[in-house]
Structure 1
Amino acid sequence: MSVELISTSLRIERNETFLSLDDYLNIVILSGQNGFGYVSLSTKERVFYWYDLSTTIYTSQFSSDKTIKDAKFSSNGIYTAAQFNDTDIEILNTKDGKRIIQTTKFKSTKGTVILGFYFISTSLLIITNTSLELYQIIANGDNIQCKLVKDTKIKIQSFIYSSKSGILLSYGGDKNNSIQPYKFTSNYIEKLPKFAIESSTLLDINNLYITLLYGKTYCIYGDNTQISFYEINPETVYRTQVIQLILPGKNNIQFVDNLIIVHYNELSVVYDLKMLKEDFPISAIPMVYKPSPSSPSTTTSDGSSPSNGSSPNTSSPRSGATPRITASSSSLLLQQRENAQQQQQQQPSLYARTWRYVHPNYIFDSATGQFFEVRLNYEKIAHFFQVDIADKIIPFLQQRSTQSAKQALLAHIKTMVEFKKDTLESFGKIFDSLNHDLRIMTGKNNTLMLQKHLTAKKMDSNTGATSTMGSRLNHSLGNTTPRTSGQNNDEDEDLMGDVQTRQETNTPAARGSDLNIGSTRRLNQSANNTITTPPPTQQQQPSTGFLQQLNRSPTLTSQSIRSTFTVSEGEEIGGMQKPPMVMASLSRAPTNIIVNSEDLFEHVFNPIYEKIEEELKVNHIHQPHQPQPQQTLILKSPTKSSEIDSRYLISIITEYLRSLNFSHCGISDKIFTLLLSLFINNNMFSQLHQFLQYHVVEDSPNIAYKLLSISETYPPALQLSLDMFKRLQMPNVIIHTLLEKKQVLLAIRFMRSTKTKCDPEPILRIANESSDNNLFFVVYKYFEDNNLIQGVANCEKYTTIYKKKFNETLSLD
């Protein structure tokens, strides 16, 4: 595991000043010589507001000498505010350009100075050295009004504020290091219990932080020797934990993915509150620089360097650079070498003195103007854990929320399975833990969709629109209402005939089969019988072929709901450029990574299966050729070790299926297909039959086609596939399969029982080629009686054949 310094492709120009980072909106707020604005860290789009003193409007064409001390933006993108002096805040409505100057309530008090201000929804919090003032911003017609909702008199020397938690920690400068916390909403100020920071030295506000770790809000204070954690609750604030630093000295603390990173001059140490053992860190290695793919130093395929946030084929209007196109491969190679040298020269100096550590995990280099992000790479995480806590690697990675941690988790599980590092019971506990998080997150997502549905239903008076929304909701939540096939009449004929590959009638599958082509019982014994099927996992494909859908399966993805940041295009209003809207929507964000069956198939089970298959092929090539019986199409494992590996993988996948069913989580169709392939490769047909009989393997078109493909090797698989096709309500595939087996009469009876219509030409052709006049007579009369042959151009010749064969016979009678 390493600490990486990632370039964000954001460079602050020399005529710009970095003001602050709004981690709630994910924007960097800047000020220029004559204005202020922000840069989105997600879209890299710059939005600036210039102020002209003579016209008192915000525009992009004039300039002024007014110095901007600070600026903020509301979460709904409607308002922005800027501070130009010690007692006034100017609020701008970005929609119509109207503005208002809000003065602090205690401006008349000598020495009153605004220390900071923040937007809380549509309210504005102003923090002075003598008070806390909360104003509600009201758009009244053409004017903006600020109504004082709540104020509190308090002496404040310094403070820190968290926009995500809405908590402010004020420090009055006393020797007891007393901290007074406040909790803010859009219309209320809640005073929390006062507490004191336990430190041998006078409190330094720069070493005080507010962050969220494992779902709890902490006030964290760090000095040169230790880090203290104070849990903030509405009733009390108390110190929960202290980390004694392994390296005393000046440091900077940052927080990434519920972990604490302590930066020294040449080293970065990572701690975890849940895995502390005698204050021993998880890792302690130097930071590594990793350029971002969109960083200015990264070269494109043509050798050019894209500008900030722009695509490789377009130039940034700020830089004025144009992409260079080389004419020959030699010049392209030379240019790539030059760009590589330039990239090496542009690599920042790590742990520079000009670095400014920005909470929670950003670094601003004031010398170069570059803005970096600090991330954690969990690759080779097992190397950083002690031997006696190696079993905690998966719980540790499971509590992370980044893609890097997810990849490391899947890689570690793959290694454990591949080298059999644990027991089957231990794997079951791992799978139960993963599926528990998956079920919780799926439930949260379904709850959110249900809330949206109820809100839409309450606001929408149109019954039709409401029912449409309800049907969409049922589909999104995975409607498990059993589907029933159409009721059949009592006149349904028996499915007679014998198929050479049918299953023995005394087997459990034959006794419980829905469609037994080797028995003489009815297709549906009662008109009230229903066929229960699971929810469809994908749309049914046209049944023009039997195996074309074998590799097609649904993709199960976990929808992680996060806070989003969107920017809409600006428009011109009254001669003023309307700024893009900054929208921040609050929603639940997952605290743990989510691993579903699709992830385990792609990164764990399928790679191991492919490796086993490769080993079998290599061993088969090196062994002397041994002729196999012609009827055996399955490659049996040539070595004992490979066969054991296959069977071990079967047991692991079976345990994973048990855990998924126990947690009521969705299962990817690929898992079932892989399990069937393992059964087939190991000639474990009886186990395959049992899994299908007891519905361990769910019905799906892919599984049915897979069974159909092995019907020549394992004859009972034909009966199993036809039963599954019937439960899936895919009668056309059944009819085509019966026709391939030359079971024309059985296909006709199935068409009559299910009232299925299909093209009569191929059925008449097969009946005619069979040289069985009785069969051709029955087939032709069926289509004729049901008016399915009249007007069909391809069937005229069969009408002629019918008259030629049977008109003479009838005349003799």
Structure 2
Amino acid sequence: MEDDNYYISLCKNPIRFEPFSKSNNVFFDDANKQVFAVRCGGAMGVIMKGPEEKVCVSFRMEDRGEIVSIKFSPDKRILAAQRYLKSVEFLNFQEDLTTDQQEYSQACKGRATEIRGFVWSSTNEIVFITTAGLEHYQVIPEKRTLRNLKTLSLQVNWYFWLASSSILLISSGTLGNILHPFQFKQPGVMTRLPKFEADLPAGPKPQKLSLLDRDVTMAVIYDHLYVVVLRHPLNASSGAEIVLYQLQKESPARKTDVLKLDMSGRFAINVVDNLIMVHHQASKTSVIFDIHLDAKSDGYVNYHYPVLSPLGIKPFKLLLPSVNMQAGIDKTEYNCELYSANWIVFQPDIVIDAKLGCLWTLELNLAPLVTMIPDKDKLIQFLLYRTDSKSVILSVCAQMLVPGKQASLQSLAKVYDMLNVTYKQFLDTETQASAGEASIRHVNSKVVIEQSDMFTHVFSVFEDYKDIKYKFVVAVLIEYIRSLNQFNIPVQHYLYELVINILVQNSCFYQLHQFLQYHVLSDSKPLACLMLSLESVYPPAHQLALDMLKRIQTANEEIIEVLLSKQQLLPAIRFIRSVGIVDNAQSRKFLEAALSTNDNMIFYTVFKFFEQRNQRLWANPRFQQGEHCDQYVKQFEALFGSESLMPLQPVQ
């Protein structure tokens, strides 16, 4: 299969737009994930497409000069466009995305100030990033005006906006490595987080801007916000590095991780499913890093290497209008140039080819990784943190049991412990949710493998492959049960049932006895019932079951039923005496069982026992009306005479 060779692919259905040309300019708003195709400054039309738009939105604008940036507000009710260095123009839209064509504008403050860009911080708020700092405005569309909320002075080299976290990162300083994060979580409020300094390989002489915007991005990885900095080597012989700085609320960002690249040159970075995906243009390959996997550490920083060797993105074919219309072919398959110089990447997972007119999202294909990562411990650890990896994990676990591919018990133990750490977290979260403490089903971005999944999709291998030795089967199941017990996860009875059935089928009664005696198989009512059913093939199972029910301490009714079914009336009476439930015992059930023994002395003993109980409870030896024992009283009289009934005591 061709798909088996690639673990990174472009989505099957890219968003198509009019390619970049002399008459058509292309813009991308990475906050709303919208592509704008602007023809002749907007006079010939603007077409907007995005992942949420079922149909493209088109409108016209007056051509007042070349547009350098264009973005909708989050609710698509206000369009902002920058044509000039000192102002931004606005256009209101109705709910049906029609416009009244009446533009209004806002200039930045200061004669020498220029606007480097702008971002929408909320539905009706916009931030101008200027050469002199930040200008925070409220847009009032009804009045077609803006109100200044805050102005902050700061030397600005470049900026990066991460809309999903409402964080604006500003570069300042001669070298560009003084980074200032600003947060816009609350409407009308701009919160300045502590600034920090990004490491540079060595300062150039004379000093000049060294940290460029193309080498910095931001990303949320495993629920933490990072500034991601690409650090180029001083010489071509050494590889580049990617440095992660984790943003903090109260203190400067902390350098936590370094990703080692064995290459240098031009790179692009995406984040897909909590993996850092690094694309290298010269070699036309990509590598992935997982900062959750084990790494080398100096006590402060973790050093990571790619999970796999560099590999290209899966080839992509596109249907384009045919040049040869005479042949009756209206569309031709076109092999897209991967890692093209025309590619631009945006966070977290977007690739755009403006000249081809395509916007893709990157996808991670997990199935090929199974053969690419031979270390099963590492593979499972990796897969546990991936979205939609459940079926792949179960497949790997099943493969570890197949003859010819069987893993060692030590390796299986590690894998089962990894699965059950997550399983336990999930169960604890569910318990908290039911107690009203939380309502989160998602556990640390992981998939959850439950006992039912293992039983249905993994241990079913034992049915499919009859040549697997039963000793291995039992050892595997006991290892899984050990892992469940280690994390205090109640073991489901069907797992015990599977172990017992395999032992019985192979006449391993001594081992079964040992497992029960030493509580390898934990006590439970279903297990006791299963043991009772095995009495015909293994007579001691009856007593083992009875002992188990006694240990459970909440199985009194079950024990009575077992004893009565075996016509062990006297042991049953001794049992109800020992646990103090004589007063509540159902006399009819005992009398019926005693009569069915066809042993008159047993019937006599049981009848007399309950007569004495009645006398003690109600000062009357007769059975209560609700006990429905009349037929047994008549039977007693027929066998032993009415004079054998305990006489009624006179009322004092």
TM-score by length of 1: 0.54
Q: How does 1:499-578 map onto structure 2 within 5 Å?
A: 559-561=441-443
Residue ranges of structure 2 left out of the alignment (5+ in a row): 20-24, 38-44, 96-102, 297-302, 320-328, 612-621, 645-652
Give yes or no for contact 2:14–2:358 (8 Å, CA) kept in 1.
yes
From the superposition, tell whether residues 275 and 13 of structure 1 become closer, same or farther in structure 2 (CA, over 3 Å).
same
In structure 1, what is the equivalent of residue 498 of structure 2? 674
| Aligned counterparts of 1:288 and 1:417: Cα–Cα separation in 2 | 30
Within-5 A mapping of 1:208-607: 208-212=216-220, 217-221=226-230, 226-232=240-246, 234-235=251-252, 241=258, 243-246=260-263, 250-256=266-272, 257-264=274-281, 267-272=284-289, 282-288=308-314, 356-364=344-352, 371-379=359-367, 381=369, 383-384=371-372, 390=375, 393-394=378-379, 397=382, 400-404=385-389, 407-408=392-393, 411=396, 414-415=399-400, 424-425=409-410, 427-439=412-424, 453=437, 559-561=441-443, 589-590=444-445, 593-604=447-458, 606-607=459-460
Matched, 1:28 2:33: yes
Are the structure 2 counterparts of residues 348 and 419 from structure 1 closer, same or farther at C-alpha, using a change threshold of 3 Å? same
1:235/1:352 CA distance change after superposition, 3 Å: closer
State the 1:162 CA deviation.
Answer: 2.4
Residue in structure 2 matching 1:715, options 534, 539, 555:
539
Q: 1:741 aligns with which of 557, 566, 571?
A: 566
> Would the alpha carbon gap of residues 444 and 785 (structure 1) be closer, same or farther in structure 2, given more than 3 Å must change?
closer
Query: Which residue is 1:313 aligned to?
Result: none
* Candidates 123, 130, 134, aligned match of 1:132: 134
Contact 1:161/1:168 (<8 A) preserved: yes
Q: CA deviation at 1:654?
A: 3.3
CA shift at 1:229, angstroms?
1.9
Q: Deviations over 1:604-657 (max 9, x none)?
A: 4x1343245x22xxxxxxxxxxxxxxxxxxxxxxxxxx5xx4323433443444
Query: Which residue number corresponds to residue 87 of structure 1?
Result: 88
**Residues matched between the structures, number:** 562
Task: Report the CA distance shift for 1:804/1:3 in structure 2 as closer, same or farther (over 3 A).
Answer: closer
Change (3 A) 1:196 1:93: farther
Q: Counterparts of 1:204 and 1:103 in 2: how far apart (Å)?
A: 30
Residue in structure 2 matching 1:787, options 608, 625, 641: 625
Larger Rg: 2
What is the SS of the residue equivalent to 2:641?
Answer: helix
Q: Report the residue type matching 1:284 in the other structure.
A: P
CA distance in 2, matches of 1:35, 1:168: 27
Note closer, same or farther for the CA distance 1:381–1:265 as it changes in structure 2 (3 Å cut): same
Gaps of 5+ in 1: 51-62, 95-100, 298-340, 454-472, 477-557, 562-588, 616-641
Q: 1:213, 1:258 within 8 Å by CA — same for their partners in 2?
A: yes
Give the 3 Å change call, closer, same or farther, for CA 126–607 of structure 1 in structure 2.
farther
Higher relative contact order (CA 8 A, sep 6+): 1
Task: Note if contact 2:124-2:139 (Cα within 8 Å) is conserved in structure 1.
Answer: yes
**Do the aligned partners of residues 361 and 702 (structure 1) sit closer, same or farther apart at CA in structure 2, a change above 3 Å counting?**
farther
C-alpha distance in 2 between matches for 1:444 and 1:93: 44
Distance 2:501 2:601 in 1: 42
Asked if the contact 1:710–1:717 (Cα under 8 Å) also holds between the matched residues in 2, the reply is: yes
Query: Aligned partners of 2:434 and 2:642: how far apart in 1?
Result: 72
Q: What is the DSSP-based 3-state SS (H/G/I as helix, E as strand, rest coil) of the residue aligned with 1:231? A: strand
Q: 1:542-600: CA deviations, max 9, x gaps?
A: xxxxxxxxxxxxxxxx9425xxxxxxxxxxxxxxxxxxxxxxxxxxx43x555454444
Name 1:521's counterpart in structure 2. none
TM-score, normalised to structure 2's length? 0.65
Q: CA deviation at 1:133?
A: 3.7
Conservation of the 8 A alpha-carbon contact between 2:390 and 2:449: no
Aligned partner of 1:7 in structure 2 is 11
The Cα shift of 1:353 comes to 6.8
For residue 132 of structure 1, what is the amino acid of its counterpart? L
- Distance change >3 Å, CA 290–CA 716, structure 1 → 2: farther
**CA distance in 1: counterparts of 2:211 and 2:496, whole angstroms:** 61
**Distance (Å, rounded) in 2 between the aligned partners of 1:759 and 1:104:** 93
For 2:347 and 2:163, the matched residues in 1 are separated by: 12
Distance 1:723 1:342 in 2: 80
| In 1: Cα distance, 2:330 partner to 2:481 partner | 52
**Shift in alpha-carbon separation, 1:377–1:31, aligned structure 2, 3 A:** closer
- CA distance in 2 between counterparts of 1:746 and 1:342 reads 90
Residue identity in the other structure for 1:607: S
TM-superposed deviation, 1:70: 0.5
Q: Deviation per CA, 1:727-784, whole angstroms, max 9, x where unpaired?
A: 3745665555445434567668878638366996x984x6665544566677889698
The aligned amino acid for 1:217 is Y
Equivalent residue, structure 2, for 1:180: 179
What are the Cα deviations for residues 85-134 of structure 1, in whole angstroms up to 9, with x where unaligned?
5436689999xxxxxx9986844645543612143699765434432245
Deviations 1:246-284 (A, max 9, x none): 4x6555332333343325478433243666999777133
Contact 2:127/2:135, CA 8 A, preserved across alignment: yes
Q: Secondary structure at the match of 2:400?
A: helix
Q: 1:290 to 1:717 in 2, by over 3 A?
A: farther
Amino acid at match of 1:404: S
The alignment's C-alpha RMSD in Å is 5.6
